[in-house]
């Protein structure tokens, strides 16, 4: 089978670091809200520790170090390489709607580049949400350092935004994984592991993508 390169090794490694740390942040973050005991998550064999707030907080901190580092690396690396193919462009909302209509046979599929308009909009959503989580999370961590007094109303706003963004992040995560495991998108999962996708897939799904290698 003839293949083309879709993701470099660095991009793949970075994606899986973001994915694993993101999943751990979701799990440990919601563990800070006393619910795992209430909803019997702690009763699942091997998950007894999830009711321990100190432990889930340490896990949240550890995962946040990886997440923040990977997100900063992602931004600096692609800015330096001049790679902005996943950033939304003018006309993406219109094209995204056309793409959604095409899924149910009501319009013709737009001629997609490396990323579809829908993917670029989804990227903006998950990227912006991640930045909000990082900024509000850093403020919450700073407050936890010890003798630090911040205005209670400011802290309350930060906590509220952090929690709301976490819920939004969870929804986007479920949609992202839900779409990737759909039969016609599964080759992309392989591409996030091996870096390669078949030439046929690339031509069919991303006809306007000028592939290399
Ligand atoms: C918190 C967890 C996750 C986050 C924040 C996340 C985020 C992203 C982002 C921002 C992209 C596009 C940019 C890039 O190429 O790096 C992407 C691509 C991708 N993600 Fe994730 N991801 C997560 C988890 C997962 C999981 C668990 C899977 C496996 C089912 C997955 C499968 C993929 C695939 C296959 C692509 C490539 C799409 C393409 O080639 O067009 N992601 N992800
Ligand atoms: C995917 C990213 C993240 C998700 C889904 C997430 C989720 C959550 C949730 C649900 C909570 C509990 C509710 C709350 O107190 O607001 C929480 C608390 C917290 N998060 Fe995050 N978070 C993320 C990233 C971060 C990052 C990057 C940092 C630090 C840089 C951070 C630091 C904190 C801190 C300090 C707390 C409060 C712990 C406490 O004092 O009780 N979070 N997070």
Domain ranges of the chain: 7-82
Whether the per-residue pLDDT at 196 is higher than 90: the answer is yes
Q: Is the CB of 22 under 6 A from ligand 2?
A: yes
- Taking the CA of 23 as reference, the closest ligand is 1
What is the Å distance from ligand 2's center to 31 Cα?
10
pLDDT of residue 45: 95
User: Counting atoms of ligand 1 from 1, which one is nearest the CA of 127?
Assistant: 10
159 Cβ closer than 6 Å to some ligand 2 atom: yes
pLDDT of residue 139: 96
Torsion angles phi and psi, residue 145, rounded to 5: -65, -20
| Ligand 1 atom, smallest distance to 21 CA | 1
Gap from CA of 139 to ligand 2 centroid (Å)? 10
Q: How does pLDDT run across 124-165, given as a tens digit for each residue?
A: 999 999 999 999 999 999 998 888 888 999 999 999 999 999
Tell whether ligand 2 has an atom less than 6 A from the beta carbon of residue 68. Answer: yes
- For 65, the token pair is 């170090």
Model pTM score = 0.93
Q: Do residues 131 and 70 touch, judged by C-beta distance below 8 A? A: no
Cα of 176 from ligand 1 centre, angstroms: 7
């Amino acid at each position: 089978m003839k293949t083309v390169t879709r993701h470099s090794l660095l991009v793949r490694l970075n994606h899986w670091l973001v994915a694993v740390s993101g999943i751990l942040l979701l799990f440990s973050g919601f563990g800070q809200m006393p619910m795992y005991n209430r909803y019997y998550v702690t009763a699942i064999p091997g998950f007894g520790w999830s009711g321990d707030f100190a432990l889930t907080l340490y896990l949240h901190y550890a995962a946040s170090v990886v997440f923040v580092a990977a997100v900063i690396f992602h931004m600096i690396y692609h800015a330096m390489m001049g790679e902005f193919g996943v950033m939304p462009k003018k006309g993406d909302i219109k094209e995204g709607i056309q793409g959604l209509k095409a899924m149910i046979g009501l319009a013709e599929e737009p001629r997609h580049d490396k990323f579809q308009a829908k993917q670029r909009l989804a990227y903006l959503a998950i990227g912006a949400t991640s930045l909000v989580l990082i900024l509000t999370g850093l403020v919450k961590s700073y407050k936890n350092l010890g003798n630090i007094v911040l205005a209670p109303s400011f802290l309350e706003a930060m906590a509220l935004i952090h929690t709301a963004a976490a819920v939004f992040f969870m929804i986007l995560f479920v949609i992202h994984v839900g779409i990737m495991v759909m039969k016609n998108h599964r080759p992309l999962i392989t591409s996030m592991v091996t870096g390669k996708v078949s030439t046929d897939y690339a031509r069919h799904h991303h006809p306007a993508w000028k592939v290399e290698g």
